[in-house]
Structure 1
Amino acid sequence: MSDKLRSMEVFSAAATAGSFAAAAQTLEMSAVMVGKHVQALEQQLGARLIERSTRRQTLTEIGAAYLERCRDVLASVAAADQVAENLRAEPQGSLRISAPATYGEQRLTPVIAEYTARYPKVRIDLVLSNRVVDMAEEGVDVTIRSGPIVDTTLIARPLQPGRVLAAASPAYLKKHGTPKHPADLAKHNCLVFAGASTTWRFRRGDEQVDVAAHGDMVSNTGASLVIAAIAGMGVVLQADALMEPAIKAGQLVRLLPKWELPSRAMHILRRPEARPSAKVRSFVDFVLERLG
Structure 2
Amino acid sequence: MDRLLSMELFVAVVDKGSFTAAAEAHRLSQPMVGKHIAALEKRLGGRLLVRTTRRQQLTELGQHYYQRCRAILAELAAAEDAAELLRQQPRGVLRLNASVTFGSLRLAPLLAEFMARYPEIGVELELSDQLVDLVADGYDAVFRIGQLADSGMVARRLKPYRMMIAASPAYLATRGTPQTPADLAGHDCLGFSRWQRDDGWDALARRHGVEIAASRFQCNQGQALRQLALAGAGLALQAEALLADDVASGRLVSLLDGYLPPPKPMHLIYPADRQPLPKLRVFVDFIVERLGAL
TM-score (norm 2): 0.80
Q: Which structure 2 residues correspond to residues 219-258 of structure 1 after superposition, within 5 A? A: 219-220=218-219, 221-258=221-258
The Cα of 1:115 is off from its aligned counterpart by 1.8
Which consecutive residues of structure 2, in runs of 5 or more, have no partner in the other structure?
none
Preserved CA contact (<8 Å) 2:91 2:121: yes
- 2:113 corresponding residue in structure 1: 114
CA contact (8 A) 1:194 1:218 kept: no
Q: Is the CA contact 2:97–2:127 (under 8 Å) kept in the aligned structure 1?
A: yes
Q: Is the 8 A contact 2:91 2:120 kept in 1?
A: yes
Query: 1:104 Cα shift?
Result: 1.1
Q: Give the match for residue 133 of structure 2.
A: 134
Counterparts of 1:169 and 1:251, CA distance in 2: 6
1:284 paired to 2:287? no
1:35-72: per-residue Cα shift (whole Å, max 9, x none)?
2212212222233333446x643233333443333222
Match of 2:89 in 1: 90
State the Cα distance separating 1:174 from its structure 2 match.
5.3
- By how many angstroms is 1:171 displaced? 4.1
The verdict on how the C-alpha distance between 1:238 and 1:102 changes in structure 2, with shifts beyond 3 A counting, is: same
In structure 1, give the amino acid aligned to 2:201.
Answer: T
Deviations 1:260-284 (A, max 9, x none): 5232222222345565433333333
**Contact conserved, 1:170 with 1:253, CA < 8 A, in 2?**
yes
Question: What is the aligned counterpart of 2:204 among 201, 204, 215?
Answer: 201
Q: How many percent identity over aligned positions?
A: 43
Distance 2:27 2:242 in 1: 63
Structure 1 residue 247: deviation in Å?
Answer: 2.2
Q: 1:71 to 1:193 in 2, by over 3 A?
A: closer
- Specify the alignment match of 2:165 in structure 1: 166
8 Å CA contact 1:19, 1:56 repeated in 2? no
**CA distance in structure 2 between the partners assigned to 1:80 and 1:129 by the alignment:** 34
For residues 135-185 of structure 1, give each alpha carbon's deviation from its aligned partner in whole angstroms, at most 9, with x where no partner exists: 344333322222233461443332222111122334445566655544454
Does 114-123 or 44-53 show the bigger shift?
Answer: 44-53
| Partner of residue 205, structure 1 | none
| Unaligned residue ranges in structure 1 (runs of 5+) | 203-207
CA contact (8 A) 1:91 1:121 kept: yes
Q: Which stretch of structure 1 is more off in the superposition, 108-117 or 62-71?
A: 62-71
Q: CA shift at 1:109, angstroms? A: 0.9
> CA RMSD of the aligned region, Å?
3.2
Question: Equivalents in 2 of 1:8, 1:83: separation in Å?
Answer: 22
Return the letter of the residue paired with 1:77: L
What secondary structure sits across from 1:120 in the alignment?
A: coil
Query: Aligned with 2:151: secondary structure?
Result: coil
* SS state at 1:125 partner: strand
Question: Structure 2 matches for 1:1-292, cutoff 5 A?
Answer: 3-52=2-51, 56-62=54-60, 63-150=62-149, 152-173=151-172, 178-186=177-185, 188-194=187-193, 196=195, 197-199=200-202, 201=204, 209-214=208-213, 217-220=216-219, 221-272=221-272, 275-292=275-292
- Normalising by structure 1, we get a TM-score of 0.81
- Partners of 1:189 and 1:68 lie apart in 2 by 76
SS at match of 2:190: strand
- Answer whether contact 1:190 1:216 (CA < 8 A) is retained: yes
The amino acid across from 1:198 in the alignment is W
Distance 1:194 1:132 in 2: 15
Partner secondary structure for residue 262 of structure 1: coil
1:75-97: CA deviation from partner (whole Å, max 9, x where unpaired): 11111222233333334343332
CA contact (8 A) 1:200 1:210 kept: no
| SS of 2:2 mapped into structure 1 | helix
Does the CA-based 8 Å contact 2:18-2:56 persist in structure 1? no
SS in structure 1 of the partner of residue 77 of structure 2: helix
